[in-house]
Every structure is written in C-alpha cells, then in structure tokens.
Amino acid sequence: MSAARPGAEDFGAQLSFDRSAPGRRAVDVPAWGGEETPLPNAHLLRDSVRLPELSQGGLVRYYTALSARNYGIDSGTYPLGSCTMKYNPKVDDLVASLPGFATAHPQAPAEEAQGTLRILLELRRGLAEVTGLPEVSLAPAAGAQGELAGVLMITRALEDRGDLETRRRILVPDSAHGTNPATAAMAGFTVTQIPTAADGSLDRATIERELDETVAAVMVTIPNTLGLWEQGIEEVADLIHDAGAYLYGDGANLNAIMGRVRYGDLGFDVVHLNLHKSFSTPHGGGGPGAGPVACTEELAPYLPAPVVVEDGDGLVRFETPERSIGRLQQFHGNVGVLIRAYAYMRALGAEGLRAVSGQAVLNANYLRVLMHGHYDLPYDRPVLHEVVFSGTRQRREHGVRTYDIAKRLIDHGFHPPTVYFPLIVEEALMMEPTETEPPEAIEALAEAMIAIAAESAEDPETLHGAPWTAPIGRLDEAEAARRPVLRWQPADGE
C-alpha cells in the first residue's frame, strides 16, 4: 500500500503508457533467418497499436511497484466478513499447479485421467462426510450457482411429485445473502421474506404462519449472516418437512461449524458449500470458485452433471444422474479449485478441520469482546465465525458514517471490513478475523477500531476525507460508476 521510499522514484506512480519511450524493448527476439511467410490479410493490420514500450528493468519495476501498492491477505489482516477471506496454505496452490493436474486436458478419456478423477471422487466422499449428506456434485462454479442448482433440484423433485403447480413460494430470511432471494426468483418462485427476531434468529412464528401447501422450500443460512447459530433448527426442519417443503441450506459459513455439526444431521435436504471460502482457494478477485451441492438420497437423481462415480472394477468416471437438472457449465467444474480443496482437507485431516472452526469462532469472539462498548452491537451475544457491529452511535453523535470508519481503517494499516451487510443492521460493520490470525493481530485490529471510534468524536473531518495514506484517496463513487475512465488516453489526443 505504501508508495516508494522518500527520495526514490515511484515506478507505480504513472501508467506503463506514460513511462513508454520509443524503441525500448523488454525482450529482444533474434531476427528470423529463414523464409518469410506473408500474413494472409496483412492489410488488416493497424500501423500502430500504441503499446507501451518499456525496457525489461522498467517493466519489472513497474509491476513490482504496482504489486506493492496492493493490500492482500499476504500483506496483513483482512477482516472482510461473510467472505472468509482467509490465508490459504501455499502448498495447496503448489499441488494444484503440478503439471499432471494443471495440464490435463478436460476431454481426455477417463482411463487417462484416473489420478485427477480419484481426487474428485475422494473430495466428493469427504464433502459428504463433512456435510452429513450422502450425495454430492462438484459441478457448480460458485456459491450462487450451487444455490441455483439446489433450487432447480427441488423444482424437479416437486415436479415428479406432481406438486410444482401449487408450490410456488420460497421463504427466505431477511438476513440472507442477496444471492438467496435472487436464486429463488431466477428459478421462477415468489420470495416471501422472513423477518429476523430480536435475538437475531429466524422468526419462528412467521415461519409457522407462512408454511402451507404453497411453499416449495425454505432457504436457511447456518450460522446466519449475523454470525449467529439458529437455535432449534432441527424443529424448524421438522415443521418444514411436515408441511411438505424442502429445507435448503446456504453453507457459505461452514468454516464456523466444520467438523462439529453436519447439515444432514440437522435436517437439511440440500446445501451448497463455497470451497473458495472454506476450503482454501484465494478469492475476492471474482473467481474461479467452486460451489458443490450435497443432498439427501431423495434428491440425488436431480444433481447437476457431471457427478464423479466409481465403477465396480475400480474405474473412476463421470456420469449424469437419471433426472439431472443438466449441466451448469462446460466440462467438470473448476478442477483446480477442487484439487486445492482436496489438498487442504487431506493436509488438515478430520482433527485439523475441527480445529479450524474452533479457532475461527474463538477469534471472532475475541474481537467481539475487545471492541465491545466502543461500537453498537445490535445482537449482543456470543457469535460463531463473525461479528456484526454497527456505526449507528458514531453517525448519530458525530455525523461519521460506517463508510468513513471503513476508509479510515486503511490509514491504520488494515483492509476494511464488509460494510452495509447484512441489510438488517444499520451502518453494519461485519468483521471476520478467521482462524489464521494470531491474538496479537486481532488485538491490533481492535486497537485501530477503538482509536477510530475516538477519532470520530475528536476529529470527524479526518474520517470524512479518509483514506489519506493510500496511493489513491477517496473516489467519487457516483462519478466512477457513471463516467468511468477505462482506457488510457494519449496526451496528444491521437
């Protein structure tokens, strides 16, 4: 994040285009001595594409300087909530990039890809064990795609039962991630919002009132996006099943309960996981990810294709379940992400996975206790993997918004938390330290947040203008969205 040392040239201060000088080259290709083959359509080539011309040293310094301006999990604590932006063991990247995996052709015959296929099979079995649901498809490429797969599977099951005409509603709590109602709507259902009770859990009375023969499913995130356990979820599952509906589980927060509680044991019919959130794949840059779906025997015939299976003679191959909802993308899912997940699972083992969830919960609660009293905590009780504070007091008393607090945290050397989510918490500050942060990192983060709470009383203007130390200060977000400058423009207007 820091710019260059004082007095030194900051190679990242300009774009590569602005650093360009005619004739400079990063690589010299020797002249071709053989016969030249003319291009078939040489007249289509442009005379000038105005690419930056840099020496090799200039190019390396430029990108090195840019990389030093970035802030990632490799540079410091990254408390972004709901995203489980954790430190991912480097060995998992190493395993996924072994040439045998990385260069395997997606259309190679199964006989020639038995190593990769067996990893997928074992991952499938491992995820079935972790979720307590026997059947798994690794095909979905993201959590949201896993959700869509799950709801489409429910749609098919209702169709086969002859119930699809009447069951047109899906109940979704108001604390849910936006992808939950979006998924239900995309699959053609009407969304009924379930309010959150005063203690942060599902409003049981509303669920009981709403559950009737028009309900196809209830989507529940557990623990929920407030980081809270859903007390009595087993009874809710029974109510849902008695009403003839399915219980969909959003498993994005698996890292809070991994190795301790299983969705299948709680009564969930189908659940998606986000391997890029809880099984070691760097995420936040928009992918790739993996959102496997796990389900009961009843829903297995509808799983998205392909599903990895083992024949009687030990050959591992892909198959399409009988009433499959079909394919969600080309080939077999994001295999690189799946291999990382497998490496992570094998390296940690059952005890290690259990330790991850224990440490994640301990860390979130340590942060909760350290920051307690300095910010409002609308749902003031022990949490699981994350804690959602509110900047309401700072706003009311000092005119400082959560947005200002988040930007100021950059000046204090940390990545901001997730803000304004979940929607039911005013001025939400959602923080998730994850299992890999040591106590001193959590203490330093809490100290920075406490210092910012004091600054908001003493010097609100500093917060309104933050960040002051980042290479780029506060942007006009409306202007950036409406009139984005996405292209370099030559100064001479050419």
Ligand X SMILES: *Cc1c(COP(=O)(O)O)cnc(C)c1O
Strand order, beta sheet including 135-137: 135-137, 293-295, 270-273, 246-251, 215-221, 169-173, 190-194
Interface with ligand X, residue 196, by CB under 6 A: no
Q: Which of residues 436-475 bind ligand X (CB under 6 A)?
A: none
Residue choice 12, 58, 143, 391 for contact with ligand X (CB under 6 A): 143
Structure tokens at 67: 């990389």
- Residue 149 within binding range of ligand X, rule CB under 6 A: no
CB of 247 to ligand X, least distance (A): 16
d(CA 387, CA 108): 46
422 binds ligand X (CB under 6 A): no
Over the window 33 to 52, marking each residue x when it contacts ligand X by CB under 6 A and - when it does not, the resulting string is --------------------
Ranges within 252-271 binding ligand X (CB under 6 A): 252
274 in contact with ligand X (CB under 6 A): yes
Q: Which is nearer to ligand X, 180 or 324 (CB)?
A: 180
Say which residue the tokens 């063991």 belong to: 89
Residue 272: CB minimum distance to ligand X, A: 8
**Pattern 366-405, ligand X, x by CB under 6 A:** ----------------------------------------
Q: For residues 444 and 210, give the distance between their C-alpha atoms in angstroms, rounded to a whole number.
A: 46
The CB-of-59 to ligand X minimum distance in angstroms stands at 34
Q: How far is the CB of 178 from ligand X (least distance, A)?
A: 8
Is the CB of 58 or the CB of 79 nearer to ligand X? 79
Kindly tell me which residue out of 137, 179, 324, 334 binds ligand X, with binding defined by CB under 6 A: 179
Rounded Cα–Cα distance for residues 225 and 202 (Å):
12
Q: Compute how many residues bind ligand X; rule: CB under 6 A.
A: 13
According to the binding rule CB under 6 A, does residue 142 interact with ligand X?
A: yes
Q: Which residue is nearest to ligand X (CB)?
A: 143
Residue 83 C-beta: closest distance to ligand X, Å: 6
| Choice from 61, 86, 124, 177 touching ligand X (CB under 6 A) | 177
Q: How far is the CB of 144 from ligand X (least distance, A)?
A: 3
Whole-number minimum distance, CB 223 to ligand X, in Å? 10
* Touching ligand X, residues 68-87 (CB under 6 A): 82
Q: Which stretch binds ligand X (CB under 6 A): 29-37, 141-149, 151-159, 236-244?
A: 141-149
Facing residues of 251 across strands? Answer: 273
Check binding of 221 to ligand X (CB under 6 A).
yes
- 88 near ligand X, judged by CB under 6 A: no
> Quick one: which segment of 46-54, 140-148, 307-315, 412-420 binds ligand X (CB under 6 A)?
140-148
> Which listed range, 136-144, 388-396, 414-422, 459-467, lies at the site for ligand X (CB under 6 A)?
136-144
Which of 142/466 has CB closer to ligand X? Answer: 142
230 and 201 in contact (C-beta within 8 Å)?
Answer: yes
Stretch of 142-150, 193-201, 204-212, 349-357 lying at the interface with ligand X (CB under 6 A): 142-150
Nearer to ligand X, 180 or 456 (CB): 180
The CA distance from 112 to 321, in Å, is 23
In the complex, the smallest distance separating the C-beta of residue 289 from ligand X, rounded to whole angstroms, is 5
Residues near ligand X (CB under 6 A) are 82, 142-144, 177, 179, 221, 225, 250, 252, 274, 289, 291
